[in-house]
Amino acid sequence: MAYLARIGATDSMVGPPEPVFPFIDRADGTRWVLRLDRGRMPFWIFDRNRRVPGTGWRDYLALLRLRGAQGTVAEALGGAGPIYRRLLEPLAVAALNTAPDEALASLMQAVVAQTLGAGGAACRPLVPREGLSESFIDPALAWLRARGADIRLGRRMQGLERNDDQISVIHCADGAVVLGPDEAVVLAVPAPVAADLVPGLTVPDAFEAILNLHYRAEAPPGEAPFVGIVGGVAEWVFIKPGIVSVTISAANRFLAEPPESLSERVWADVRAACPTLAPEMPQCRVVREKRATFAATAMQQKRRPAVDGAGLANLALAGDWTATGLPATIEGTIRSGETAARFLLRHV
Ligand SMILES: Cc1cc2nc3c(=O)[nH]c(=O)nc-3n(C[C@H](O)[C@H](O)[C@H](O)COP(=O)(O)OP(=O)(O)OC[C@H]3O[C@@H](n4cnc5c(N)ncnc54)[C@H](O)[C@@H]3O)c2cc1C
């Protein structure tokens, strides 16, 4: 939010004024809306109309087990009953993009500490009014251009030339950029590209997919423009004008399934979430992002380099895959950029 404020894009994000999260359980059709308090004190856990059905306030103490936990999310939280199935598991899968029996509890703890643990004001569900580019990219480019930055897009980096412990030349497909003595590089490419450009750099090398399905359909937005689904194939249904979109995380398990059968199965979930929709499945587009994020496992966590992981004085690494302390998220990405900038301001 600080980043959005700085680039003048706060208003490009929209969402309910309060931290509310509508859910449906496909196992028995139960619907509920999680209604957090704005402040830090979680009074909502004491109110059966605002917490997860089938849970009592003591169940929420399970979250404390994440503190200092060394193993997986399932090891730390599994067996906690309905609170696990209806809240903690969906949260873990969405935030870590990795199945809970493999995902690191410490990364989940980092997310929980900065969301549920920080109070409802830190949990408002916001989505871009138009798209991620219009919120996070275009205003940032305009901000930089207004301050004299020369931005050149569509130039593929092919190699970095070194001179002792400095990068001296960036080789691009259409020419070279020679660095001056007071110039520096923030390398913000995906992990496999960084590994190619910086020999010897260890980076995450196992990935998880995210699936998005977009249906041409008109559904009335409820209290929030999305519904969380428990016990279905779909995990989150987002309602936009003329389109209903579904997100499925940790989706390597669905990559082999033909899009036709997957979209039919998911449509059943969408109709459960939005009962006014007709039974016939409308036109649907399935988008599979095979390497959406690195897998948030113990093994991959060890492979995430620090900002100075390349060992070069004028090169900082940035990206969701660097050692941000968070899973692969926009939040982690933005923080990694700030870390890279601070590092270079100190060292160059
Ligand atoms: C389907 C999907 C849904 C997601 N949903 C969410 C979400 O809801 N919330 C959330 O927080 N995160 C989400 N994420 C994760 C989020 O998108 C990433 O964490 C974030 O985009 C990573 O940013 P990045 O700058 O590290 O890398 P990227 O966004 O991958 O940027 C890397 C850039 O490097 C460029 N590049 C690559 N090779 C070269 C080269 N040789 N030379 C020059 N440039 C190069 C690429 O073109 C790209 O622009 C989602 C990801 C996916 C795929």
pLDDT tens digits, 73-83: 999 998 878 99
The share of the chain scoring above pLDDT 70, in percent, equals 100
Does 135 map to a domain? Answer: no
Q: What is the average pLDDT across 302-328?
A: 97
Does 12 map to a domain? Answer: no
What's the chain's average pLDDT?
Answer: 96
Q: What is the CATH number of the domain that holds 254?
A: 3.90.660.10
- Shared-domain flag, residues 268 and 191: no
- Shared-domain flag, residues 42 and 115: yes
Q: What is the dihedral of CA 11, 14, 84, 74, to 10 degrees?
A: -50
Closest residue by Cα to atom 30, ligand 1, is: 190
- Note down the domain range covering 228: 207-294
Is there an atom of ligand 1 within 6 Å of 190 CB?
yes
Residue 285 has pLDDT above 80, yes or no: yes
- Shared-domain flag, residues 184 and 106: no
- Shared-domain flag, residues 236 and 198: no
Does 141 map to a domain? Answer: no
Closest residue by Cα to atom 37, ligand 1, is: 189
Does 8 map to a domain? Answer: no
Q: How many domains does the chain have?
A: 3
- Shared-domain flag, residues 280 and 312: no
Does 2 map to a domain? Answer: no
- The pLDDT tens digits of the residues spanning 40-67 come to 999 999 999 999 999 999 999 999 999 9
- At residue 78, the pLDDT reads 84
Does 129 map to a domain? Answer: no
Is there an atom of ligand 1 within 6 Å of 327 CB?
no
Is there an atom of ligand 1 within 6 Å of 293 CB?
yes
Q: What is the average pLDDT across 209-219?
A: 98
Residue 4 CA to residue 311 CA, distance in Å, equals 31
Ligand 1 atom nearest 332 alpha carbon: 19
- Shared-domain flag, residues 161 and 255: no
- Shared-domain flag, residues 73 and 201: no
Does 53 map to a domain? Answer: yes
Does 60 map to a domain? Answer: yes
CA of 290 to the centre of ligand 1 (A): 12
Among residues 294, 313, 337, the one where a domain terminates is 294
Q: What is the CATH number of the domain that holds 302?
A: 3.50.50.60
- Collect all residues with Cβ–Cβ distance below 8 Å to 122 and sequence separation of at least 6: 114, 115
- The pLDDT tens digits of the residues spanning 243-261 come to 999 999 999 999 999 999 9
Q: Name the band, by pLDDT with cuts 50, 70 and 90, for residue 222.
A: confident
- Shared-domain flag, residues 302 and 179: yes
Is there an atom of ligand 1 within 6 Å of 126 CB?
no
Closest residue by Cα to atom 32, ligand 1, is: 189
- The pLDDT tens digits of the residues spanning 102-117 come to 999 999 999 999 999 9
- Shared-domain flag, residues 185 and 275: no
Among residues 255, 275, 294, the one where a domain terminates is 294
- Shared-domain flag, residues 217 and 287: yes
Among residues 249, 277, 294, the one where a domain terminates is 294
- Shared-domain flag, residues 162 and 229: no
Residue 297 CA to residue 309 CA, distance in Å, equals 20
Residue 184 CA to residue 181 CA, distance in Å, equals 8
- At residue 80, the pLDDT reads 73
Read off the pTM. Answer: 0.95
Question: With contact defined as beta carbons under 8 Å apart, do 323 and 335 qualify?
Answer: no
- Shared-domain flag, residues 301 and 193: yes
Q: What is the average pLDDT across 271-281?
A: 96
